[in-house]
Amino acid sequence: MAVAFLSQQVNLVGREKTFTFVNDSVSQEKIYAAIGTDWLTDKVLPNIRGEVQKRGEMVAQGVTEQVNDQKEKVTESVTTKIKNYFSGITDSILHPGENNCECQSQSSSD
């Protein structure tokens, strides 16, 4: 058994350099990964965050404008309908017997 163990020592000595090389390569990869992570954190992420914030503000402003436009349109529409309704009622009071109430003509045609 001692002879078998000692005969394998020659093979292990050559492999030791290979294991050391692999271990050094893994350590070097960790260093490169740390450098890459630091570069991303320092250089890339601030630019991305700034763009995201700018575009987010632009989108929020656009949405706010669209909502305000829709509010104005609804308000105008409701105001016009109310005005037409009361105008029709006033006309029907001032001119009884004539079918000039817009609300009646719309309901009878529906």
pLDDT tens sequence across 39-78: 888 888 888 888 888 888 888 888 888 888 999 999 999 9
User: Taking the CA of residue 53 as centre, how many other CA atoms within 13 Å lie in the half-sphere pointing to its CB?
Assistant: 6
Q: Please check whether residue 87 is in contact with residue 104, taking contact to mean a CB–CB distance below 8 angstroms.
A: no
Give the alpha-carbon dihedral of 60, 66, 69, 75, to 10 degrees. -90
Regarding pTM above 0.85, the answer is no
Q: Which of 35, 55, 54 has the alpha carbon at shortest distance from 43? A: 35
What distance in Å separates the CA atoms of residue 1 and residue 33, rounded to the nearest whole number?
A: 45
* Alpha-carbon distances, residue 52 vs 56, 63, 66 (angstroms): 6, 16, 21
pLDDT in tens, 29-46: 788 888 888 888 888 888
